Amino acid sequence: MKVNEIRSLLLKKFGKRSTSKWYKALLDIVIVDFGIKDILLFDCWSVSSCEMNNFLQSAKVMNLLNNHLSAFSFGMDVFLYNKSAVKHLKNNLFNTPEFQQYVIDISKPLNHPKLLTINCKEAKETVALFSSSIGRITSELEELLHDVEIDADDARINPPCLFGLLLGYPAVYWYDRTVSEDNCLLTEHLYLYQVIGEVEPEIINSDTDLSKSLSPNKRNSSVRYLEKTCHTVLSFTIPTIINEKIKSDIKLWFIEWKRSVPWSSVFAKISLEEKIVEPQAVCL
């Protein structure tokens, strides 16, 4: 991994915005490039899809990327994706022999969240938009399509559900926007699942000596930090009341994910961590 070169390009293209989070951004870009994630929400700093595509094109020209990466936006949110990896999502996403993807209804009128399947009538319009969006960003005209529009007034479309589908969560939230934009999660304990990768030191140190770019008093501690870095690959929550019903399926999903994803190209090991959280507020 050409750490110094990618870091320099990030700083050149994004300036001060990238100063404190360039390393997280680098790992986010790398896991998409290596096919560990098909699509990723870029949340390191504020950026437009045009800015990100300009960076990705420069990185490809400089041979800093292995694959064709691109970016698109939904509203203010920018997503990175690996074009070749994403192509399989359109026709083979929801049903596999190993796992059935779930929808969790968290509509405001409910006393507690309700478990649905991805084929439910409630999420039909959102699933259709997801499928058409995947078809659009993988088309031959993809370079001209940096933005995918969402009609904010179309209550049939549920943005949190759409984002969960894009990011590959095994269970996604949905709520009835025709009734309320609020949800019933405020009084619920949530089960937080995180797929955590421990960065492979040999990957970080290949083709570069990052310590050369550091001041002497920071050099040793920074290199040790990089060698021990853990990176969150996926993070999602499930209401505890629902988790009891599908916990075994989540474990099966992770086993299949770990088997089929080339995570060892970047991480020394990967694990599924879990804990109960009690959020003071829920923002979807």
What is the band of 278 on the pLDDT scale with cuts at 50, 70, 90? confident
Q: Is pLDDT at 67 greater than 50 in this prediction?
A: yes
- Work out whether the CA dihedral 265, 270, 272, 277 comes out positive or negative: negative
Residues 149-165 have a mean pLDDT of: 82
In the predicted structure, residue 191 carries a pLDDT above the cut 80: yes
What pLDDT digit, counting tens, does each position of 30-48 carry?
999 999 999 999 999 999 9
What residues form DSSP beta bridges with 235? 194
DSSP state of 98: S
Distances (CA, A) of 205 to 2, 7, 87, 95, 208: 9, 14, 32, 39, 6
The whole-number pLDDT of residue 213 equals: 40
Lowest mean pLDDT among 33-37, 96-100, 169-173: 96-100
In this prediction, residues 121-135 reach a mean pLDDT of: 88
- Residue spans per domain, the chain: 3-277
What single letter denotes the amino acid at residue 108?
Answer: K
Q: What is the pLDDT of residue 2?
A: 80
Q: In whole angstroms, what is the distance from residue 107 CA to residue 185 CA?
A: 9
For the entire predicted model, the pTM comes to 0.85
- Would you state the pLDDT for residue 215? 39
User: Which residue matches tokens 């940096």?
Assistant: 146
Instruction: List, in sequence order, every beta strand (DSSP E) within the chain.
Output: 39-42, 69-74, 77-82, 102-105, 114-117, 171-174, 190-199, 230-239, 267-277
pLDDT, average across residues 200-216: 48
Residue 112: phi and psi, rounded to 5, are: -145, 155
Say if residue 182's pLDDT is above 80: yes
Q: Give the best-scoring range by mean pLDDT among 85-89, 129-133, 201-205, 237-241.
A: 237-241
Q: Specify burial of residue 263 (Cβ count, 10 A radius: 0-12, 13-18, 19+).
A: buried
Q: What is the CA radius of gyration of the chain?
A: 20
Per-residue confidence at 105, pLDDT binned at 50, 70, 90?
A: very high
What pLDDT digit, counting tens, does each position of 254-276 carry?
A: 999 999 999 998 999 999 999 99
Please, which pLDDT band fits residue 87 given cuts at 50, 70 and 90?
Answer: confident
Residue 30 · residue 266 · CB < 8 Å: yes
CB-CB contact of 156 with 30 (8 Å):
no
The identity of residue 38, as a single letter, is D
| Kind of pairing between the strands at 102-105 and 171-174 | parallel
Give 147's pLDDT tier (boundaries 50, 70, 90): low
| Beta strand spans in 4-101 (E) | 39-42, 69-74, 77-82
